[in-house]
Amino acid sequence: MPEGQQVPAWFGVRCFFKVAANSYEERITIWRADSHDDAIALAEADAHEYAETLDGVAYLDLAQSYLIGDAPEQGSEVFSLIRDSDLDEDEYLDTFFNTGTERQM
């Protein structure tokens, strides 16, 4: 590798989709890229292709990137997001993640 050239790193990128009238998907993929911007560009190209292959799915043009750093392996953290909130723990989870309408697994 030429001197001064950056070694690509691993990034987890979360993209958001509308999959039905009242259903949304959050999809996390991993990418080897030189920067957050490059990882997002790769993920967004994939997100558009993903949405086109599924009938009625729309990419919502929102991607969030997370630097993984090392090569992913068993148990590697591939995405993390910190959100500030004045809600207590139960209210926070009920508001953002445990609404009772999630389809998990």
Residue 98 has pLDDT above 90, yes or no: no
User: Do the domain assignments include residue 102?
Assistant: no
- Total structural domains within the chain: 1
Q: Return mean pLDDT, the chain.
A: 91
Task: Look at residue 65 and tell me if it is in a domain.
Answer: yes
Structure confidence at residue 6 (pLDDT): 73
Q: Decide if pLDDT at 1 tops 60.
A: no
Compute the distance between CA of residue 1 and CA of residue 67 in angstroms, rounded to an integer: 21
- Tens digits of residue pLDDT in 43-85: 999 999 999 999 999 999 999 999 998 899 999 999 998 999 9
Residue 22 tokens, joined: 């009242």
Q: How far apart are CA 8 and CA 55, in angstroms?
A: 34
Which residues constitute the domain of residue 38?
9-70+78-96
Task: Look at residue 3 and tell me if it is in a domain.
Answer: no
Residue located via tokens 């292959």: 53
Pairing verdict, β 23-33 and 9-20: antiparallel
- pTM assigned to the model: 0.83
In a domain, 1, yes or no: no
59-70 per-position pLDDT tens digit: 999 999 999 988
